[in-house]
Amino acid sequence: MSIWHAPFTLDEVNRRFSTGLAAHLGIAITAFGDDWIQGTMPVLPRLHQPMGLLHGGASVSLAESLGSVGANLCVDFPRQRCVGQEINANHIRAVTDGIVTGTARAAHLGARSQVWQIEIRNAAAELVCLSRLTIAVLGSR
């Protein structure tokens, strides 16, 4: 059974959510299923930390972007909106180039909060970062 509030297409999602930081980082929503959403981010030198590795903040930005997109697709937008409240991340494996892919799945979908788990993997499908995002569900302004 699908967790999404209403049907959507990848083009619609990318038009609606690929702005600001997500656009600057090159994040694109690439796939979804009944209870997950997936996106990619290129690992470019501008996203490296001083040692030439993907910056942990970039991984966290991908995780929060995917979880936030998923969260907003689960509610009656624009009557409700979802914003990040807390995020944590474990950086497990270094990446220097290529593309990373994040997959976000809801662990909890409540009326006032949601919790999403996001796995980010490299091109070899090895776990790069494991993140958990808590979302606040707000009424519209």
Catalytically annotated residues: 64
User: Is residue 15 within 8 Å of 48, Cβ to Cβ?
Assistant: no
Using CA atoms, how far apart are residues 116 and 98, in angstroms rounded to an integer? 25
User: Is residue 35 within 8 Å of 3, Cβ to Cβ?
Assistant: yes
Neighbours of 133 (CB within 10 A): 26
The phi and psi torsions of 131 (rounded to 5 degrees) equal: -130, 150
User: Which ranges of the chain does DSSP label H, i.e. alpha helix?
Assistant: 10-17, 20-25, 56-73
Using CA atoms, how far apart are residues 80 and 140, in angstroms rounded to an integer? 5
Residue 30: closest CA among 101, 106, 118: 101
